[in-house]
Structure 1
């Protein structure tokens, strides 16, 4: 996690690959003269982008502010279970369907030494924590983290310390977690009360090593060489693990060079390359804020091109994917406020557009982790008496619960608007998925207009709609509406509509995210 969100940068490199996937937007519809009033959204369940990996609905916890201590772990609270974890938080996380949980950082990871956090709690050292300028008590360590993951049904994802840490420390952490028996570290884990291996599958090779704020910051070549040796030792310790290399967390000059260098060195060992993005609306420019994730999509396509380049120079057959393992809106609350950002409706809409991007690029984005889970720039906020859900909770909850299966190509033909950096931004941002086991079509639509209802026709080009569609809408009274304890101005409203034939006509309200789940009756043969 960078200390401050970075400014947007719209790269033009590899422009040729920008249209490999994602929505196809009619250029005619984008023209300002005679633009159509009704948006046409065309879908064909046989035109598929790729399988949606459930890991795109992941999350992230860091030893920062009240995320872990006072968030997920609060043994003094009457709401805590016998292990010290908040029961209400566990239930809220379960409803969010978190699939993979990243830990311990973030910037914290670059100064964290895992042995400090195992063994009897009363013997664990208290350390000066340099990333966020606090004291780390080490009351939550590896075993507690894995326990929490098991409680909420998430896969553990550990980021090793490649800042102040060593190759041996990284390798030995894998051995401690994953070796069943017969070694000193496996026996150490058993002596700590965990005779069975944790079998942690996902491991990150450091955090944001491209950033000058990071402990142990290196240039691309120095990081890549160091990470390569760590990767070799970690995979030799457990060949089944999946490794995530540090890609860009900043997108200024030279960011593509960083990613190319890292991929060229790690192409035989890395399974993912990690990307981080935090967006902001400091200028209070709603139309531009709603278009910000178009930059995210551009970056994904550029990195996909870099992956293809690296893969052309290796004999490995297993693909390398993108892990967008930190993303969110963040610009109002920093260390002085414990990063406890309060989110509004426009932030929730941006989260929905992030998720649309991940779904549209499901062939290459196979993991994503909202940062963070509780209290710190988070969808869940706790108090002494309970918790409340921020606006950004709801789009992630809907996607994670229902948007599975195969991502579809989407053709969008409708009105658009201009920003300072974009000639044409479609008012309706759309992704779609198809679940062949149930013949269910899932359509996700964000209306980027603050004032206007956007009429649309959703057209099935293969199969007809039947029965009733379930419509879930995230909205509120205005774009600045916020939730707070006991008050939910932004929430999910659900309804049903009758559907029949090859199209659904729907009016998308201003400043809304809408999910439509509809059943299709498919012909027996094409």
Structure 2
């Protein structure tokens, strides 16, 4: 059996928890919006057509800031099409996903949906086929109280109070040749700087996210960030990171170590951003918005006929069905985001419903939880107060892609009411772990759960929606400030501890 010793030191604080780290993403793609969050004919639909069974699952998931409306979709988005009387909204082609957009859900409706879920809107503006003027118009429509042409138009459309959107993305993945209107780093950096400057002239308290690389494997990775930030550093607050992972060629060992790539991605972007900041003699630190991250079987999508010559409304696209192994990797990616929470202060699991999502729906039927739902929902619920970076003493195993990878990974959080430890066992055998929590004020184990299965490829499906669920992590014992747990093989686990009175 693998053994590991972990020490959690109350003084090793990464950062106070910003709830935006538990964000998600809704794009007009596939069945994420239509037949996902929105299905007027569904038995649970409200007067706006939103499925309330999905709303309840989103609330249980614990997602906070929701990025919208894309994604690749935003680079062709005409926001004006999405407001006003529904029967007068134009139907458009979406070039990003080769589908038909009906515009039945738009800025105002989505803002109302967010109120149902208790989430914050993170709006993206189109810098692919549009630019400064359209961004300023959308900002005025969304945020100005009244008395201008566009704010009064919003009021006439039935939304009296402004949406007060604080966080804005300056385009999406503008380094990618798949993006409508993609650019060089120099061209994009100049446009993003001018757009940011104009938007902050309208409201200096906006928080703006400039596009970073679409992945660490992009040939321009690193140099893109440097060039873009040299133009935009003084005008923006965040730079984005996007990363997706999947098992390839049956190499489960490398797949389980995917978070090592995310760590490399974060460290590289932080180093580049700080280099530019130092070069500009700026006192500001650029934060990272990891506003697309997830498991995505992209190879299979590209080999399929999901995108074809037909122009369809809400076709089934990117509807990956996730396994226990996928959920363990996702839980490990969350651990990595928390361990870097001093710089990664916003993140968006991409996406929320049906499209590479933790929640699935069937038209006219059920909504259910994928395996990946569980580590996200439990972490969002239990992680409170401050993130603590633990010291982990454990052996490694060899992977083809990443070399030596630690068998166990972990992070901890703490506040006045208690603490929590989140753990992953990447190994194929159980791991006995001793965790020194003596520097924390903990009295007893309040909750101990794990996600694992004898079949690492077990999944929840329409036919068997509860095949995989959380299990009790038996044998979690706290004695003299030391927590002892046995982690099942290929598992994600969480232990919550009540504070001493």
TM-score tier, shorter chain, comes to over 0.9
Counterpart-to-counterpart distance in 2, 1:317 and 1:82: 49
Tell me the alpha carbon deviations over residues 398-417 of structure 1, each in whole angstroms, 9 at most, x when there is no partner.
11111122111211111210
Alignment TM-score, normalising by the size of structure 2: 0.93
The answer to whether the 8 Å contact 1:473/1:494 transfers is yes
In the other structure, the counterpart of 1:285 is 251
**CA–CA distance in structure 1, aligned partners of residues 164 and 243 of structure 2:** 29
Query: What is the CA-CA distance between 1:388 and the residue it aligns to?
Result: 1.2
Where does residue 399 of structure 2 map in the other structure?
Answer: 419
1:348 and 1:395 in contact (8 A); partners too: yes
1:361 and 2:340 are equivalent in the alignment: yes
1:204 corresponding residue in structure 2:
169
> Quick one: which of 451, 454, 459 aligns to 1:474?
451
Secondary structure of the residue that 1:312 maps to in structure 2? helix
**Equivalence for 1:301:** 267
Could you tell me which residue of structure 2 aligns to residue 441 of structure 1?
419
Q: Which structure 2 residues correspond to residues 5-404 of structure 1 after superposition, within 5 A?
A: 37-250=2-215, 251-314=217-280, 317-331=283-297, 332-333=300-301, 335-336=306-307, 337-383=316-362, 384-404=364-384
| 1:154-185 Cα deviation digits (max 9, x unpaired) | 10011100000121001110111001112111
Inter-CA distance 285–94: structure 2 relative to 1 (3 Å threshold): same
- Post-superposition Cα deviations, 1:107-144, rounded to whole Å, max 9, x if no partner, equal 10000010000100111001111111111111111101
Task: Tell me if the contact between 1:469 and 1:499 (Cα under 8 Å) persists in the aligned partners.
Answer: no
**Whole-Å separation in 1 of the counterparts to 2:445 and 2:368:** 32
2:189 and 2:231 in contact (8 A); partners too: yes
Distance 1:53 1:220 in 2: 30
- Alpha-carbon contact 2:450-2:491 (below 8 Å) kept: yes
For the residues of structure 1 that align with 2:358 and 2:407, how far apart are their CA atoms?
26
Please give the per-residue CA displacement for 1:67-105, whole angstroms capped at 9, x wherever unaligned.
000100111222211110001000000111111001111
Separation (CA, whole Å) in 2 of partners of 1:465 and 1:66: 45
Distance in 2 between the 1:37 and 1:84 partners? 51
How many Å separate the matches in 2 of 1:208 and 1:356? 25
1:488 pairs, out of 462, 466, 475, with 466
Q: Tell me, yes or no, if the aligned pair for 1:359 and 1:407 is still in contact at 8 Å.
A: yes
TM-score (norm 1): 0.89
Distance 1:378 1:361 in 2: 24
**Distance apart, 1:311 and its partner CA:** 2.1
Match for 1:459 among 432, 436, 439?
436
Alignment partners' CA distance in 1, 2:296 and 2:224: 24
* SS of residue matched to 2:100: strand
CA distance in 1, matches of 2:427, 2:466: 22
- Contact kept, 8 Å, 1:464 with 1:503, in 2: the verdict is no
> How far is 1:421 from its partner?
3.6
How far apart in 2 are the matches of 1:395 and 1:265? Answer: 38
Q: Deviations over 1:493-520 (max 9, x none)?
A: 2367452312111111111111011135
> Unpaired runs of 5+ in structure 2?
308-315
Structure 1: any 5+ residue segments left out of the alignment?
Answer: 1-35
Separation in 2 of the partners of 1:310 and 1:92?
42
- Cα distance between partner residues in 2 of 1:154 and 1:510: 35
Structure 1 residues 107 and 463, CA gap change in structure 2 (3 angstroms): closer
Q: Is the 8 A contact 2:387 2:413 kept in 1?
A: yes
> How much has 1:467 moved relative to structure 2?
2.5
Task: Verify the 8 A CA contact 1:39 1:415 in the aligned structure 2.
Answer: yes
SS in 2 for 1:396: helix
- Which whole-Å CA distance do the structure 2 matches of 1:51 and 1:169 have between them? 36
Corresponding residue for 1:500? 479
1:5 aligns with: none
For residue 8 of structure 2, give the secondary structure of its aligned residue in structure 1.
strand
Deviation of residue 317 (structure 1)? 4.6
C-alpha contact (below 8 Å) 1:59/1:369 kept by paired residues: yes
**What is the aligned residue count?**
484
3-state SS, counterpart of residue 491 of structure 1: coil
CA contact (8 A) 1:63 1:108 kept: yes
Structure 1 distance, partners of 2:447, 2:203, is: 45
Question: Contact conserved, 1:324 with 1:368, CA < 8 A, in 2?
Answer: yes
Contact 1:333 1:340 in 2 (8 A): no
Question: Are 2:248 and 2:255, in contact at CA under 8 Å, matched by a contact in 1?
Answer: no
Alignment partners' CA distance in 2, 1:409 and 1:198: 37
Matching residue of 2:312:
none
Q: Following TM superposition, by how much is the alpha carbon of 1:240 offset from its aligned partner in structure 2, in angstroms?
A: 1.7
Q: Residues of 2 paired with 1:418 and 1:150: CA distance?
A: 47
Shift in Å, 1:37: 4.3
